[in-house]
Structure 1
Amino acid sequence: MKQRILISLLLCVLAIPGIAQPRKTVLPYRLVGGKMIVEMIMNGTPRSFIFDTGGQTALSGEICEELGLPLTDSLVVTDVNSKKLAYPRVEIESLLFPDKMYHFMHVPAIKLPTPSPFACFQTDGLIGSDILKGMIVELDGKAKTITISNGEQAPTISLRKMLGFVKKGMPVVALQAGRGNSINCLFDTGFPGFFSLKSTDFETLKSVGAFTVLAEGFGGASIGVAGESSAASFYRVQFPELSIGGTRFLNVSSETATPPLTLLGVKLLDYGKVTLDYARSRFYFEAYKAENDLKSKHYNVALRVKDGVLVVATVWDAMKGEVEVGDKVTKIDGQPVSTYDFCESIINGIPELKAKKKVKLTVQTKNGEKTIVYEKK
């Protein structure tokens, strides 16, 4: 069981002064709970950050207080749940890559409230697209590396693998959902999945038959920097074909959500290299294969940990009337459940649910205990 935690800040890009001499640097990353974690040197001290192409540079409130960073101004942000909130900003005096080839100075950063939304990932903030202006960024999912260079020379990648940015400074590109159906999509490495469909895009594409509706669900609260979204009705859909440049993805499943844009997430790196030429507003995708079939099965309920208890988070059609959002799981295959750690469930899932393809859950509902089968269909 993986709970989707999204913490991107979807914002316009600001100019950042003070980039040092243009060179190439290779920044290793590790995946933790679907997040790309990188090491940077901030104000002389090594710190961990989430590398988030869909966001703006931000710091946790805790690290701002620890370092005594003064407030400079404020900025209204829109998070992954389309919640808007004004946040204060601070200034990072110095931000370096570990090899010190690139030096960012006087970097504006949003100060987020405490407790930190990054706590589960043991990071101090986000590295966003705003500090990458004018640079070229290559993301290699096999090598787990981020290669950053100056933008003086365009990449030598074939232009047939290129899509232009729809929004300058942010990797928003137009994908093709079937024939003749264009959809603007943000490549957001802060999103741990492959594809997430914005609710308004759902309505537009539904009218032209671009996908099949697989199920309707209720629940699905997600967490953004402005807090947790309210439970709501949403849909699971399947696109027969989704094209990213010259690469075809077949049978792409997605769940509707309320971000400011439809999202293409970090799992794209499972299928090829991505190069972001911020200097020329270009997105390149070098696929390992020209065609990929993503047909998959799905659970009839989604679960999450809340206050140490495993609860029902989403109910799909097949389970309507059987369980409700918030019902507590009391037993797994007849064995009483443990108390679960929220962060551990995000990063590694629930061991008892990962061990088997099908388990029986005993759920405490308002009408008494019920036993349901938890499996992908």
Structure 2
Amino acid sequence: MKLKILLFIIFPAVINAQNELNLNVGEIKQKKYHVAFDFENVNGRIIIAVNVNDRVKKFLLDTGAPTSFHENMLKEINYKTVIQNSQGIDANGASGAFDIIQIPEFSIQDITFLNNYALKIVGDLDFECLNLDGVIGSNSLRDSVVEFDFKAGKVTISSDFNTFGYGEVNENELIFKDFQSTPILKINMKLGYLNYNEEVIFDTGDNSFYSISINNLNQLLTLINENKIPKELQNISHSDLLGIISSSNGSFSSGLFGVETVSNHYKFKIQDFTVGSSVFDNMIATTTYGSNSRVGSEILNYGKLILDYKREKYYFI
């Protein structure tokens, strides 16, 4: 079945710099903190209040992106300092230049962030649709423990996992590979007839459950074409083998440097999908032209997820 679709996801995933660049700069003023606060759920996206220069602003809380401030807000607070101009590649593979700035101070409730690096966002990028002023990303959260509780409509940021009082819970490895502390989870699934293990970004800026990178899909197709799969599976069609149920042509996301190129995408049915010790059955997933597969905020409809950046662990309850 062929469909023509144009669907936008605001500011998804990471920015890959083409030179050595570290956005993990800055600190939190308080040494001990545990703050729970309400958020606005807009179609699965977490909108929070951030205080900048005694002005309350609307930010997207996006674990898959770096902290970013829109140019209009920077003009409003008369902030002009640029640390560096860098070349980079956004979540969709588009390249361009961006400014890195250092924000002297901003706060979320009673937590004060000092001298954090951020990107300066120029242009639309869907900010006006949600009236957003910026993004709080993982580079600002890297020294904290963050709990996402969609049922209660709360986000909690803490300096210590033990303050949550969970006691004995299953812990899972949290992986970091880039300059902005993007959280990566190990997952496994049954994709069609194939058992498949993958490292995926946990990206609250993406409101889907799971989307598979076209790069990873191509690697699977290469293995299939080279018959590097079990012999009993080699005569099964690619569509059946991978659980493909439809294809589409369009643009599915918008990144720092614009909307992705119109491309072919695929929809899959996944029989078993395991995150931590939790197993999900009969999921529907789509491809993404980002460089990484992603688990998005839809998973938060099924339980609490806690990212312990400090101890490199995550918990799904």
Fold-level similarity (TM above 0.5): yes
The range that moved more, 201-210 or 43-52, is 201-210
Give the conservation status (yes or no) of the 8 Å contact 1:62–1:114: no
> Do 1:94 and 1:104's aligned partners in 2 also have CA atoms closer than 8 Å?
yes
| Pairing 1:83–2:94 present | yes
Q: CA offsets, 1:240-284, max 9 Å, x none?
A: 111111111111111111112101001110011000000011111
* TM-aligned CA deviation for residue 153 of structure 1: 4.6
Given that residues 211 and 240 in structure 1 are in contact (C-alpha distance below 8 angstroms), is that contact kept between their aligned partners in structure 2?
no
Partner of 1:47: 57
2:108 aligned partner? 97
Distance 1:58 1:260 in 2: 20
CA distance in 1, matches of 2:167, 2:271: 27
Instruction: Give the letter aligned to residue 263 of structure 1.
Output: R
Q: C-alpha offsets along residues 298-339 of structure 1, whole Å, 9 cap, x if unaligned?
A: xxxxxxxxxxxxxxxxxxxxxxxxxxxxxxxxxxxxxxxxxx
Moved more, 132-141 or 2-11: 2-11
Q: Distance in 1 between matches of 2:31 and 2:71?
A: 32
Structure 2 counterparts to residues 328-347 of structure 1, below 5 A:
none
- Counterpart of 1:192 (choices 207, 210, 218) is 207
Q: Is the 8 A contact 1:93 1:105 kept in 2?
A: yes
Q: Write the distance in 1 (CA, Å) between the matches of 2:263 and 2:7.
A: 16
Distance 1:255 1:246 in 2: 23
1:283 equivalent to 2:314? Answer: yes
Structure with more contact order per residue of length (Cα contacts < 8 Å, sep ≥ 6): 2
Corresponding residue SS for 2:93: coil
Match among 173, 176, 186 for residue 185 of structure 2: 173
Is 1:135 matched up with 2:144? yes
Q: Equivalent of 1:244, from 263, 275, 292?
A: 275
Of 253, 256, 261, the residue aligned with 1:230 is: 261
The alpha-carbon distance between structure 1 residues 248 and 125, as it changes in their structure 2 partners (threshold 3 A), is same
Q: Label 1:10 to 1:107 Cα distance change in 2 as closer, same or farther (>3 A).
A: same
**Equivalent-residue separation in structure 2 for 1:157 and 1:181 (angstroms):** 31
Secondary structure in structure 2 of the residue aligned to 1:64:
helix
Q: Any idea what the Cα deviations from partners look like across 1:318-372, whole Å, max 9, x if unmatched?
A: xxxxxxxxxxxxxxxxxxxxxxxxxxxxxxxxxxxxxxxxxxxxxxxxxxxxxxx
Q: Secondary structure at the match of 1:174?
A: strand
The one of 129, 134, 137 aligned to 1:120: 129
Q: Secondary structure at the match of 1:181?
A: strand
Unmatched tracts of structure 1, length 5 or more: 287-377
Matched residue of 2:199: which SS? strand
Deviations 1:93-149 (A, max 9, x none): 211122x2x111122211111235311111100000001112111110101111111
Aligned residue identity for 1:147: T
Counting only pairs closer than 5 Å after superposition, residues 2-81 of structure 1 correspond to structure 2 as 3-11=7-15, 14-70=24-80, 71-81=82-92
CA contact (8 A) 2:12 2:254 kept: no
- Mean Cα displacement is larger for which, 178-187 or 235-244? 178-187
Q: Say whether the 8 Å CA contact 2:13–2:205 is kept in structure 1.
A: no
The TM-score normalised by the length of structure 2 is 0.82
Q: Could you tell me how far 1:9 is from its partner in structure 2? A: 4.6
The letter of the residue matching 2:94 is K
CA-to-aligned-CA distance 1:161-204 (integer Å, 9 cap, x gap): 33212325321011011385211111100001111110122234
Query: After alignment, is 19-28 or 275-284 more displaced?
Result: 19-28
Q: Which amino acid is the alignment partner of residue 108 of structure 1?
A: Y
Tell me the TM-score normalised to structure 1 length: 0.70
In structure 2, the CA distance between the partners of 1:103 and 1:93, relative to structure 1 (3 Å rule), is same
Asked if 2 retains the 8 angstrom alpha-carbon contact of 1:157 and 1:284, the reply is no
CA distance in 2 between partners of 1:160 and 1:20 (Å) = 27
Tell me: CA distance 1:280–1:180, structure 2 relative to 1, closer, same or farther (3 Å): farther
- Which has the higher Rg, Structure 1 or Structure 2? 1
Partner SS state of residue 268, structure 1: helix
Which structure 2 residue ranges, 5 or more long, are not aligned?
Answer: 16-21, 234-240
Contact 1:6 1:80 in 2 (8 A): no
What code does the residue aligned with 1:3 have? L
1:255 pairs, out of 286, 295, 305, with: 286
Q: How many residues align?
A: 284
Q: Percent identity?
A: 22
Q: Distance in 2 between matches of 1:119 and 1:39?
A: 16
Q: CA deviation at 1:18?
A: 4.3
Structure 1: which amino acid aligns with 2:65? G
2:161–2:308 contact (8 Å) kept in structure 1: no
Pick which of 111-120 and 261-270 moved more.
111-120
Structure 1 vs Structure 2 CA RMSD: 2.4
